[in-house]
Structure 1
Amino acid sequence: MYVPAHLTGLRSRMKMTMDKASPNGPDAPRRSVADPERSPTDFSLPRVQDAYTLAPVPLCQLDALGRIEELNLAAARLLGDTAERLRGRRFVRYVHPDSRDDWFRRHATRLRLCTGDGGQRPVLMERSLDEDGRSRLVLLDVSALPAWRAEPRPPGAGLSGLAARDSLTGLANRRQFLDTARQTLRIAQRHDLKWGLLRLDLDAFADLNRAIGRAAGDRVLRVLAARLREATRGSDSLGRLEGDEFCVLFSLGREGRPWSRAVNKISRAVSRPLRIGGHQLMLGASMGVSLYPCHGADAEVLLRRAGLAMRHHQQLRRAAYHLYGEEMEGAASPEPPRLRRLRAALLSPMLRFMPQVDIGSGDVPALDVCLKLPDRERPAPAADYVPLAEELGVSAAFGQALAREAVTALAGLREAGCPGVNLSLALPPASLAERGFIGWLRGLLQSRGLAMDELELAFSEQSLLQEALLSAGVLERLSEVGARIAVDDYGTDCGSLAGLRHTALQTVKLSPALVSGVIRTGSERRLLGALLAFVQRYGLQLVAKGVDGPEQAALLSLLGCRRLQGEWLSPALAAPAAVRLIRAGMPALPERLEGV
């Protein structure tokens, strides 16, 4: 019988532990009372395999292509078939279509499984990946739990779904799409797999929006997202980049299936007529395609080149789509005015400031830097614009412009009589990894009479582990010059503890998705409490982001998180309004919690 590789390591670790614990040493004989001829600590592979097979919790191992390599009896019962018939099948075929985005974008999540008998089972899944791309799954059937039945949630509304998804369509946002694409391409490189990236932009959508109204326009985007889901495989990744621009990362297998087949299917789905609010509409879209590995080896390059092909298609309209070619580089494809405006806005950033509020005193000890773009209604965290800056090729210049504006704002706070309030800023990791950038930033602060620890630098969980940062020694260098370091949106990637191993870390900002679960179920509340206790053990400052009501604030306070942030407390403010709030404080905050 096949034995999963991790079981042999488990056997070795168990035997080593028991040998050390033996009072007579590792060579002392041990006998079982029930069976004098058999040791109770028999860690032979058959014994460990029996434990795996008969474990009451469903366990499953998948290969790099998502096919079932091994599973135990509990997993076979959960999927409604025999283990022999299940081996070799792709696990995704048992994942309900509404849950497939969750399956491909998370390490731990809630899913709906389609069983062999035609039924459906809600499960909690813990998923881990090894360096060869294999997945190990631990599944828990929760269909019998009242809490699950009483609280149905839309796809992607788990602990990390909100922060990673576009709120209108439910698709991945730009940052999450790129994160997923990077991970997919790393696995593709190891296993010689081929992928394609499609980028599409609806034709004249701004005119359509004005003609039928914004609400109807939003419905068009939701319908388009649903059609893209229908036209793609479960293994494909979908995202909404911004506005009416979408992208699809689609698998071509090891042999490289014809990419045009997948693109034609998407094109037909988009162009089908639809009826919205009494309007009969025909959608058109500009589409560009780039291929891995022949057009690029990383997600950002493929996305940019698919964008070039898309703009080429907008100009020529000789086919339903265009494939990237080197002739499209440079002046061959003029940049649309919208992208020119975006680039200009990133290089002259308009800052807004989201207050962090101490729930006990009502003081504002820090402000998070946000950006307000001229064509956007609401400010967004600076980190949300890092992928866009990378795509537009202005990452380094964006980092410098953002740092200059932030330092100017920080000096303005000091001049306005706010000495204890620091700024928290997310800069592009590529900028920080550039030679000389940290020294330049330190000099910029000193020129305004500011210390390095007055500007906190925030990193996402994933960027803390990026090879560019680690190999360049960025975190160590920042620690040497006295910078404060924060991990931002902690819990978006299921609270990976690896991101907390850096001794330079001072602040942990809990993601809005994690915070939103505090009032949803007792299990999520216990999970958050455990995370808070773990982080507090390190003596780190905790900030809960996305607090949207008094119940959340009260429960977070009881769990030990005193510093909160969210629209319920205060929206992102212009500098003068932020100064007024800092001076006045929020003395009414305790009253807000009365009776909660």
Structure 2
Amino acid sequence: MPQVSHALRLQAWPFLLLACTLLAGFAGLLASAFPQLPVPEPLRFSWAGSLTLVVGGMVMSAWLFRSSGRALLLKKLAYQASHDALTGLANRTMFEEKLQQDFTLARQNNRLMAVLFIDLDEFKPINDTLGHKVGDRLLVAVARALEACIRPTDTLARFGGDEFVVLLPDLESARQAEEVAERILQKIALPQQVGGHELYLSASIGISLLDDSETSPEKLIRQADMAMYKAKRQGRDTFQVYSAELDAKLSRRVTLRQDLQEAIRSGQLFLHYQPQVDQNGKFFGVEALVRWQHPTRGLIAPERFLPLAEETGQIVPLGKWIFTQACKDAVQLKEMGLLPGRMGVNLSPLQFHRPGFLDKLKKILAETGLPADLLELDLTEGVLMKDRCRAISLVNSLQELGISTAIDDFGTGFSSFSYLKDLPASSIKIDKSFVENVVTNHKDAAVCKGVITMAREMGLTVVAEGVEDEAQFDILRAWGCHRFQGFYFARPMALDALVSWAREVD
């Protein structure tokens, strides 16, 4: 027979006492009303005494049931405060409490522990496409899969959305944490049957380890989070272990991001313009290039801050400023008779695919007064690879407005030739990586010559970027390249310098 716990006996005795009290009271009432009944003498109370027992028992029962209901409610609230409502896993609050406990024990006993930060890859498209009910069921399935990968002494929590965190205390080596991450990646990669759908997921995992440095529990979570983002940037479906080098690099990125936000607000950004020339070396058009003059770091190269702006979304306000300023300067050049062609502006994928892009562009043209036929947008192949049908539709709309489009950095992507036949682009730009060795490298020469020949047959204008000497200019011109841009003709320059240069070469 199973043993009844001491705690259970303590919880049960008030109800046993209540039962005895009510039983004695009712027995006393029966004995008073029917003296002939065989009621034991100890239970033959007076009528008033029996009634007192019954009423007291009823009052006691009301109090007990109210108290037990309150206890159940408190227990339920405590559970909800410490657990995720969807998956039943620990929530952030409970995880941080457990982390603090295990952190203290690990420090005292000189033991190794690890935190794993898990983010599901491409969960949002599934959630958006199939609905939140399917998404929620998938998260529950993932939670069960994660539980199967860890020990009973480990702690698994859901931080919200598609983020999960695992606490691994009392490890023998760092390799153990990596083995857990590998098991998780394998488990999550298995197909999940949810709502009649066979769904596939992967995950990016960051691992932070408690070392001898002055690390805090909160810092372990942050470090695992940083390592997870590095795993995402390395292609996803992998794990990455945090290192001090990663911390320094990410700290620089965070600082750069904050500085860029200030630069957008305070006017540290400015535009330089690089001319384009035709086959006769005559000024034909110009491309706007953004520059950043940092108050303490000096001039920061665009390749350092533009990718960051694209990742963080800062490219949206930055791009709006570039468009507006370039259009204003183009109007100024036009009024001076110094804009023989178009003003070229680079367009990021995030700007291009943002809702309302076309309306915002038309508004900028209207506010600055620049005719649409004096604007050319440089699109990278990455812009066109996402939602190809919509991209083609947008480029058609731009063409209807009179805005020209150019495919920038042509040849550096994987699908260059497949979309050209459908895309109403006006020109393509041969990337400077092919142009710089066109004279000395027969493969680069073949690429350039092939692109020029193909473009001519398709009725497209070809622009060679990065032309730095006469030999490159001569060979590309001989093959039929239409326009040229590079240091051989002019470096990027401020608007005033461009005005002087244009007047000099006119």
Give the structure-2-normalised TM-score.
0.50
Larger Rg: 2
Q: Which has the higher helix share?
A: 2
